Amino acid sequence: MGYKTIQVKPISGALGAEIEGVDLSKDLSNETFDDIHQAFLDHVVIFFRDQHLSHEQHKAFGRRFGTLNIHPYVKGMEGHPEIMRIVKEPEDRINFGGGWHSDMSFLEEPALGSILYAKEVPPYGGDTLWANQYLAYETLSDGMKATLEGLKAVHTAKGEYSERGASAQARKSMDVTRAGDDTPSYEHPVVRTHPETGRKALYVNPAFTEKFAGWTKRESRPLLNFLFEHCTQEPFTCRFRWTANALAFWDNRAAQHFALNDYHGHRRHMERVTVNGDRPF
């Protein structure tokens, strides 16, 4: 794949590439933007190091890809509601995002992508893993693909953001609202066709997928458990070691991710903008 304005260096065989030769704080030319967009589609998650962005510049980069989401449960920054501060203080026990998930799949129109910017990183640990859901689908047997074709799954925030859910646990520097019993559920296809690449990807995740549409939770559990285990196998993943001022942009339509919680006693401060997407088909 030829890129005219940037250098693209894959970090694993499955997905992920570091982008060099671009300063995201500057106005990007259309040619550079097109190269970044293509790298994003080609590699599913892309990384930039040593970026020095203001809040406005962070949002402006996100807006090149679409409108920005204001999270329904996590309060955004004062004056910048589109920016979510993801902070684990030294005394916090549970991190945010510490399980495999696809951001915002509980919405009727889930997120296109998330752009996470590292403000303060621990001296060790705190890596993030991503899993390629194109590969998860493509490695299924023909029989399993036929079984999943046409199936829909129910996605909701009511488990993950409930009183017992990991995302709703108290954290010193984050303001999270808990999801009530009236929290909506939405049905999305289990096999999703990517609106830009046309490729098929598995689209279920353990944080927000409750059951198959028209099935009971008990009936759904064995097949969902198989898919959850299958779609995050090591050969489908990459792992990123954060450095201060690094930025990651991932495609929630074709990836899941997992933030490791292995730096107790140290502070980690990230800031995220999320680009709105469209209804899966």
Active-site positions read: 101, 103, 257, 272
Residue 201 structure tokens: 């990807």
Q: How many residues does the chain have?
A: 281
Residue 98 structure tokens: 């510490």
Contact 102, 252 (CB under 8 A): yes
What's the CA gap between 1 and 16, in Å, rounded? 14
Q: Which amino acid is at 41?
A: L
Q: Among candidates 274, 110, 264, which has minimal Cα distance to 186?
A: 110
Contact 83, 55 (CB under 8 A): yes
* Apex 241 CA angle, 174 and 71, nearest 5: 30
Strands 17-20 and 45-48: parallel
User: Could you report how far apart the first and last alpha carbons of the chain are, in Å?
Assistant: 27
Residue 172 structure tokens: 């010193």
CA 267 to centroid of chain Cα atoms = 21
What's the CA gap between 214 and 115, in Å, rounded? 35
Residue 158 structure tokens: 């009511």
Question: CA quadruple 219, 222, 224, 225: dihedral positive or negative?
Answer: positive
Q: Which amino acid is at 236?
A: F
Tell me how crowded residue 212 is: count the other CB atoms within 10 A of its CB: 21
